[in-house]
Chain A
């Protein structure tokens, strides 16, 4: 199975900050990576797919980059609505696997 490791596990930041979350795959997954945002008690929401393509309707302050084994999700200027947990997911091979999550909290 392909292991996905996110860092950090928790990130404290303020409104207006630029933040970056990293996701590393245990083997190359090309660009077959998605990022999701999840708020408590809610379903995940797709933000980015194919490593860097912004899902329709997602604000442009979100961006993704990377290929192979290292990927990043960047939020250029944090808004109050962005405080949530973020997951990366690989779909290069079965089983589909997710990172353990990064909780973004208010400093």
Chain B
């Protein structure tokens, strides 16, 4: 079964750091672009970044709102995607989803999401 499972969310103070994980199973992880998308409480979906596939050297792309603060990485040996979040702000409070990119940008598999709350 194709599956993505996020973990690592929680409560963190403004200015703090958190690392989210996304465990992939049921497909060839290295073949796919992988995305992080977040959703603030009661709001819409916001793309925050992606990791390209192995043929594209796992290069990354970020939204302006997180560039320089967030870093996406992968561990091929454990089929895991990571989101390192530094210098967190209250406006980063959201549910964070990882997703598999199927084609040029459509996302066909999503995790269940992990909530992050940035508050003092």
A9 to B102, CA, bound (A): 28
Instruction: Report A75 CB to chain B, min CB distance, Å.
Output: 19
Q: Which of A49, A90, A95, A96 contacts B102 (CB 8 A)?
A: A49
- CB of A98 within 8 Å of the partner chain: yes
Q: Give chain A's interface residue range (CB within 8 Å of chain B).
A: 20 to 34
Q: Which residue of A lies closest to B98 (CB)?
A: A43
Q: CB-CB < 8 A to B64: which residues of A?
A: 1, 95
B1 beta carbon closer than 8 Å to chain A: no
Q: When the two chains form their complex, are residues A43 and B110 in contact, meaning their CB atoms are under 8 A apart?
A: yes
Q: Is the CB of B44 within 8 A of A99?
A: yes
Partner of B108, one of A1, A32, A46, A92: A46
**Minimum distance in angstroms from B8 CB to a CB of chain A:** 17
The answer to whether B45 and A44 have CB atoms under 8 Å apart is yes
A99 to B110, CA, bound (A): 18
A30 CB → nearest B CB, Å: 10
Most chain B Cβ neighbours within 10 Å, of A43, A100, A101:
A43
Asked if B107 contacts A87 (CB within 8 A), the reply is no
B112 touches A43 (CB 8 A): yes
- B85-102 interface with A by 8 A CB criterion: 97, 99, 102
Report whether A96 and B44 are in contact in the complex, using a CB–CB cutoff of 8 Å.
no
Residue from the list B46, B106, B108 in contact with A91, Cβ < 8 A: B106
Q: A49-B103, A50-B103 are in contact. Are A98 and B108 (CB under 8 A)?
A: no
Q: 10 interchain pairs (CB within 8 A)? A: A32-B105, A34-B106, A42-B112, A43-B110, A50-B103, A89-B106, A95-B47, A95-B63, A96-B105, A101-B44
Top-9 shortest CB links A-B: A91-B105, A49-B106, A43-B110, A96-B47, A34-B106, A98-B45, A95-B63, A101-B44, A46-B108
